[in-house]
């Protein structure tokens, strides 16, 4: 890496990024942020690969590290007509430097986006660059990052420790062996990487290989999963297995928040149709709805915190899905109802002391109308932070403005990064800490909070609430 890349990082990321421009509020935000800037990172929901930390091998190249796993990057480049194959997707022998050059040439596309902020943070704070990525600097970046990630101090475990990550949670299918999690636990490394139970492959009839997944679930657990009661017992057994390896939460990525409360007889009849493949679209949705309620019942029994991420039309671009599979950036938000959809589940479990349901949304119109008032009443409900398309400075500020008036701060759960891009984790948490500092500074300047109160709230938003909500 050239000497010019190791100077001040301010050229890429200003010290006062995201703070209020108002000179009377800025010093308050600065003081608040200084108290949480270096606190440990609690990452209770994400999609990083546990194998990175189990094997602790050097990342292969800058493209595999920063482009291939980041669907935010892929979708932006594809939206400008750049083929997925040119980005190394679906290609076994792609040229990583050629992909990087395409990325660098088009880096200007990310101006004003959170991706630009996360990447600039990574380039400056992790790798020490000061001149912005461009077609001109593409090879300097590629060579510098390649040289850096070959060093022992840039292996996954070392970066985990350097980033001050206290807890990192992955997201895992019910049939996953969790061998990487087990390998980490048996190693001498003290990093805390936990699984989270994501049952979508065996509760969503639209999931690829759904019936085969249920059969495999039965093989793993020794239960007859062609029958309703055996199927439920198998799910309970896998939850217990995940919990034995440190899991504290489940996660559910349903298309809607619809729940149902069928009788045992009704559920048995529905399951037979679902398992046989004879159910229509309405029956498939009813099954997903019933399974959310069943998962809530199991959470009451075993104490696993339940997360619900509804409202995404997955794989909207069918051509991309057929050619390249899931999670390539072709998912689109849709309107979501919570008040009526969740009522069956909440009627049964909404007042249970041992139940926590964390709600996320891609439909921001719900914050002040539905989600915040619901979380401000039901003891079991907490609001997850802005998710996916709204994991941005603007989205975070809108969330605080719309949710705080009804739910307060203490019916929220802090921040989680929800990322596959490992190196973006500290950047995402830094953005959240800056926005919360800015929001609280405004309240202090308006004499709605005392500054000492703001320090307490900010610490809770950064560390305290996430540990409490996720039982960490």
Percent of the chain at pLDDT > 90 equals 93
DSSP string across 120-156? HHIIIIIT---SPP-TTTHHHHHHHHHHHHTSGGGSH
Q: What is the pLDDT of residue 202?
A: 98
* Per-residue model confidence as pLDDT tens digits over 389-426: 999 999 999 999 999 999 999 999 999 999 999 999 99
Q: Is the pLDDT of residue 10 over 70?
A: no
Q: What is the pLDDT of residue 126?
A: 95
**In contact, 426 and 163? CB cutoff 8 Å:** yes
* Per-residue model confidence as pLDDT tens digits over 322-346: 888 887 878 899 999 999 999 999 9
Q: What is the pLDDT of residue 264?
A: 97
Quote the CA–CA distance of 34 and 287 in Å, as a whole number.
49
Q: Is the pLDDT of residue 445 over 50?
A: yes
* Residue 1: pLDDT band with limits 50, 70, 90: very low
Q: What is the pLDDT of residue 12?
A: 87
Residue 450 backbone phi and psi in degrees, to 5: -80, 150
Query: pTM of the full predicted structure?
Result: 0.95
Query: How many residues does this entry show for the chain?
Result: 472
Q: Is the pLDDT of residue 5 over 70?
A: no
Q: What is the pLDDT of residue 260?
A: 98
Q: What is the pLDDT of residue 327?
A: 78
Superfamily for the 8-56+155-469 domain: Metal-dependent hydrolases (3.20.20.140)
Q: What is the pLDDT of residue 330?
A: 84
**HSE on the CB side for 417, CA within 13 Å?**
30
Q: What is the pLDDT of residue 375?
A: 98
* Per-residue model confidence as pLDDT tens digits over 227-273: 999 999 999 999 999 999 999 999 999 999 999 999 999 999 999 99
**Coil, helix or strand for 78?**
helix
| Domain at 58-154, CATH from 1.10.2020.10, 3.40.50.300, 1.20.1560.10, 3.40.1190.10 | 1.10.2020.10
* Per-residue model confidence as pLDDT tens digits over 350-376: 999 999 999 999 999 999 999 999 999
Q: Is the pLDDT of residue 51 over 70?
A: yes
* Residue 7: pLDDT band with limits 50, 70, 90: very low
Quote the CA–CA distance of 376 and 403 in Å, as a whole number.
9
Q: What is the pLDDT of residue 315?
A: 87
Q: What is the pLDDT of residue 265?
A: 98
Quote the CA–CA distance of 463 and 36 in Å, as a whole number.
9
Residues 6+ apart with CB under 8 A from 6: 128, 130
Quote the CA–CA distance of 444 and 402 in Å, as a whole number.
18
Task: Indicate the average pLDDT of the chain.
Answer: 95
Percent of the chain at pLDDT > 70 equals 98
* Per-residue model confidence as pLDDT tens digits over 168-182: 999 999 999 999 999
Q: What is the pLDDT of residue 326?
A: 81
Do 8-56+155-469 and 58-154 fold alike per CATH?
Answer: no
* Residue 8: pLDDT band with limits 50, 70, 90: very low
DSSP string across 196-249? -B--HHHH-TTSTTHHHHHHHHHHHHT--TTSHHHHHHHHHHHHHHHHHTT--E
Distances (CA, A) of 116 to 86, 121, 258, 326, 397: 21, 8, 35, 24, 18
* Per-residue model confidence as pLDDT tens digits over 124-142: 999 999 999 999 999 999 9
DSSP string across 273-323? HHHHT---HHHHHHHHHHHHHHHHHHHHHH--EEEE---EETT--HHHHHH
Of 271, 294, 259, 257, the C-alpha closest to 211 is 271
Return the number of other C-beta atoms located less than 10 Å from residue 21's C-beta.
Answer: 7
* Residue 2: pLDDT band with limits 50, 70, 90: very low
Q: Picking from 13-27, 43-57, 327-341, which range would have the lowest pLDDT averaged per residue?
A: 327-341
**In contact, 170 and 193? CB cutoff 8 Å:** yes
Taking residues 202-207, report their average pLDDT: 96
Quote the CA–CA distance of 122 and 124 in Å, as a whole number.
6
Distances (CA, A) of 417 to 200, 229, 288: 20, 36, 26
Q: What is the pLDDT of residue 328?
A: 82
The angle, 0 to 180 degrees and rounded to 10, between the axes of the packed helices 26-36 and 425-445 is: 140
Residues 6+ apart with CB under 8 A from 252: 198, 199, 200, 203, 292, 295, 306, 307, 308, 309, 310
Q: Where are the domains of the chain?
A: 8-56+155-469, 58-154
Q: Is the pLDDT of residue 4 over 60?
A: no
């Amino acid at each position: 890496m050239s000497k010019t890349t190791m100077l001040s990082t301010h050229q890429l990321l200003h010290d006062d990024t995201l703070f209020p421009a108002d000179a009377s509020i800025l010093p308050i935000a600065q003081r608040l942020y200084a108290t949480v800037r270096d606190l440990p990172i609690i990452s209770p929901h994400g999609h990083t690969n546990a194998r990175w930390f189990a094997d602790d091998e050097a990342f292969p190249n800058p493209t595999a590290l920063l482009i291939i796993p980041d669907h935010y990057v892929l979708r932006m480049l594809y939206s400008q007509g750049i083929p997925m194959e040119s980005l190394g997707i679906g290609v076994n022998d792609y040229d990583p430097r050629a992909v990087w050059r395409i990325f660098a040439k088009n880096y200007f596309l990310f101006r004003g986006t959170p991706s630009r902020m996360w990447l600039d943070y990574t380039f400056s704070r992790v790798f020490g660059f000061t001149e912005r990525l461009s077609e001109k600097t593409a090879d300097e970046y590629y060579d510098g990052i390649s040289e850096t990630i070959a060093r022992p101090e840039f292996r996954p475990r070392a970066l985990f420790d350097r980033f001050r990550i206290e807890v990192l949670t992955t997201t895992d299918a019910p049939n996953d062996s969790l061998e990487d999690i087990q390998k980490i636990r048996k190693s001498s490394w003290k990093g805390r990487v936990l699984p989270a139970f994501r049952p979508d492959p065996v509760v969503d009839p639209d999931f690829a290989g759904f019936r085969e997944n249920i059969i495999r679930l039965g093989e793993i657990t020794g239960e007859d999963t062609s029958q309703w009661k055996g199927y439920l017992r198998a799910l309970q057994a896998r939850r217990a297995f995940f919990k034995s390896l440190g899991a504290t939460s489940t996660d559910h990525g349903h298309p809607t928040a619809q729940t149902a409360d069928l009788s045992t007889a009704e559920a048995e009849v529905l399951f037979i149709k679902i398992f046989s493949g004879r159910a229509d679209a309405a029956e498939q949705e009813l099954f997903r709805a019933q399974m959310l309620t069943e998962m809530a019942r199991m959470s009451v029994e075993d104490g696993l915190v339940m997360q619900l991420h509804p409202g995404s039309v997955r794989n909207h671009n069918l051509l991309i899905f057929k050619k390249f599979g899931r999670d390539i950036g072709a998912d689109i938000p849709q309107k979501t109802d919570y008040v009526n959809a969740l009522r069956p589940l909440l009627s049964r479990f909404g007042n249970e002391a041992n139940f926590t349901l964390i709600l996320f949304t891609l439909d921001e119109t719900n914050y002040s109308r539905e989600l915040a008032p619901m979380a401000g009443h039901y003891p079991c409900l907490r609001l997850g932070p802005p998710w996916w398309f709204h994991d941005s400075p603007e989205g975070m500020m809108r969330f605080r403005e719309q949710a705080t008036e009804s739910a307060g701060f203490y019916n929220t759960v802090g921040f989680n990064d929800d990322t596959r891009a490992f190196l973006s984790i500290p950047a995402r948490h830094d953005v959240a800490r800056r926005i919360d500092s800015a929001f609280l500074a405004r309240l202090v300047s308006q004499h709605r909070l005392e500054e000492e109160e703001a320090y307490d709230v900010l610490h809770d938003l950064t560390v305290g609430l996430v540990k409490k909500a996720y039982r960490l």
